[in-house]
Amino acid sequence: MHRIVIVGGGAGGLELATRLSNRFGLRKRQGERNVCVTLVDRHPAHVWKPLLHKVAAGSMSPASHELSYAAQARWHGFDFHQGELVGLSRSSKQVMLGAVHDDQGVELLPQRALDYDTLVVAIGSTTQYFGVEGAASHAIALDSVAQAERFRRRFIEACRRAGGARGSENGALAPRMQVVIVGAGATGVELSAELRDAACELSQYGLHDLDPTHDVGIVVIEAGPRILPALPERVARATVERLGQLGVTLMVGESVAQVLPGCVLTRSGQRIRADLTVWSAGVTAPPVLSLLDGLNVNRRGQLVVRDTLQSETDDDVFALGDCAACEWPGKSGGVPPRAQAAHQQAAFMVEALTCRVEGKTLPQFKYRDFGSLVSLSRFGAVGNLVAGSGEGMYVAGWVARGLYASLERMHVAALYGIRRMAIDTLANRLRRSTSPRIKLH
């Protein structure tokens, strides 16, 4: 029996566990199987991370998009263990999982060790605060559903509070409440458009009596010379224009020096009102990766892997997704931390692990960039599509919106199969026709 343990059930890890189980027929071949697949995650359910800004704005309910790991495990024949990766012993080939506690801190599951023959680390990334004072304590990051939900509740509360305090603020032109988003990458930009939509929608349902455009300030601060630094300039220009129409204030070339309750201080000395601050200025590797029994990590703390996605240090350990430092020949910085990279690596890993189990030579991973899309809520989408080695083609309007929506549907199809994905799409449409577009409580 070859034991494959996958730690991290995110965009890459859950697709891998599902596809591997399908490949080896684990659901059908009870008793006569020669492979067993175990998935580990610190949470009990999966939500695709690129949707978290929608959860934060309330335009997507996690309840209708989450997938229970236990259910997926049962349907596909793999095992699921809830727990957080806290250590590794390469000599005894064991991963250590921390104890699981309930809301009151009572232990539900003790600390455990799991044996593996092949280990795949897919624990993603975490928010990078760059040592900015007050950022970790006073700004909200979007790393998990819990954080996104916390932000959503606070946004509604801040709108309601500001509506009640109407007229008490100085200056008739100043917004009554203001959200500051630090970082104008895709997450920050997409969130700003979603929040403008949410402010309008909440006003229509009477949850606040603010003017949703003028009284709700949305400021995006970017340290670099332009927004969307990872995307082509044309996409950034189109986005700037659209955000301007939505009344989103962009401050580029401005670094945040400190985050305080109620305001943000910039390095140029500006004090910006912030009833809520969101930190989306970058990601870094989870610190636990540096504690994994001497596995090589790079400057950013990611596990360094070869083109087979095996750790540079240990042939039995693989890594994929945001937590892996994988070279992208001809490009500096390696394969980017994106869902499409995690998806491609998961598909590759199914082939690689099949070869490994069958004792064949492992293939080599080659990342292919298909471009990027930025969704501006119901106000549109822009992006560029790459086919081959060219610069890519600019897309906007309904084409970009359709393509953006299809990315999430592709992930759902990888987990559910095409037929169930179609049913899920229909169910979501029906649900949307009987409930408000924005979660109101």
Ligand X SMILES: Cc1cc2nc3c(=O)[nH]c(=O)nc-3n(C[C@H](O)[C@H](O)[C@H](O)COP(=O)(O)OP(=O)(O)OC[C@H]3O[C@@H](n4cnc5c(N)ncnc54)[C@H](O)[C@@H]3O)c2cc1C
- Residues at the contact surface with ligand X, assessed by CB under 6 A: 7-13, 40-43, 49-50, 52-53, 84-85, 122-124, 142, 186-187, 286, 288, 321-323, 337-340, 342
The closest residue (CB) to ligand X is 10
Q: How far is the CB of 60 from ligand X (least distance, A)?
A: 11
Q: Which is nearer to ligand X, 207 or 283 (CB)?
A: 283
Least distance to ligand X, CB of residue 170, Å: 34
CB neighbours of residue 440 within 10 Å: 13
Q: Name the minimum Å distance from CB 112 to ligand X.
A: 12
**Least distance from C-beta 433 to ligand X, angstroms?**
26
- CA 108/CA 126 separation, integer angstroms: 25
CA–CA separation, 268 vs 298, rounded Å? Answer: 32
Residue 41 or 215: the one with the smaller Cβ distance to ligand X is 41
Question: Could you tell me the smallest distance in angstroms from the CB atom of residue 256 to ligand X?
Answer: 19
3-state SS class at 190: helix
CB of 422 vs ligand X, minimal distance in Å: 22
Least distance (Å) between residue 240 CB and ligand X: 18
Beta bridge partners of 19: none
* Secondary structure (DSSP) of 30-67: TTS-SEEEEEEESSSEE--GGGHHHHHHTSS-HHHH-E
Mark out the alpha helices in 205-338 (DSSP H runs): 233-245
Phi/psi of residue 415, nearest 5 degrees = -90, -35
Q: What are phi and psi of 33, to 5 degrees?
A: -85, 150
Nearer to ligand X among residue 45 and residue 438 (C-beta): 45
> Tokens for 95?
């991963």
Q: Which is nearer to ligand X, 15 or 424 (CB)?
A: 15
The nearest distance, CB 56 to ligand X, in angstroms, is 8
Q: d(Cα 257, Cα 391) in Å, to the nearest integer?
A: 35
Q: Which of 167, 176, 159 is CA-nearest to residue 57?
A: 159
Q: Return the C-alpha torsion angle 117, 81, 321, 141, nearest 10.
A: -150
Name the packing angle between helices 339-357 and 13-23 (round to 10°).
30
Q: Which residues contact 285 (CB under 8 A, 6 or more apart)?
A: 125, 126, 297, 300, 301, 302, 303, 322, 323
Mode of pairing for the β-strands spanning 94-97 and 85-89: antiparallel
Nearer to ligand X, 162 or 248 (CB): 248
What distance in Å separates the CA atoms of residue 331 and residue 327, rounded to the nearest whole number? 8
For residue 146, which amino acid is it?
A
Least distance (Å) between residue 342 CB and ligand X: 4
Q: What Rg, from alpha-carbon coordinates, does the chain have?
A: 23
Nearer to ligand X, 176 or 348 (CB): 348
Work out how close the CB of 131 gets to ligand X at its nearest, in angstroms, rounded to a whole number.
Answer: 20
Pairing outcome for strands 126-127 and 140-141: unpaired
Report how many helices (DSSP H) and strands (DSSP E) the chain contains, helices first.
11, 27
Q: Which is nearer to ligand X, 33 or 378 (CB)?
A: 378
What is the DSSP code (8-state) at residue 360? P
Q: What is the distance between the terminal CA atoms of the chain, rounded to a whole angstrom? A: 49
Measured CA to CA, the distance from residue 181 to residue 178 in angstroms comes to 10
Which of residues 7 and 179 has its CB atom nearest to ligand X in the complex? Answer: 7
At residue 278, the 3 state secondary structure works out as strand
Choice between 11 and 202, CB closer to ligand X: 11
Residues 6+ apart with CB under 8 A from 32: none
Smallest distance from the beta carbon of 325 to ligand X, in angstroms? 12
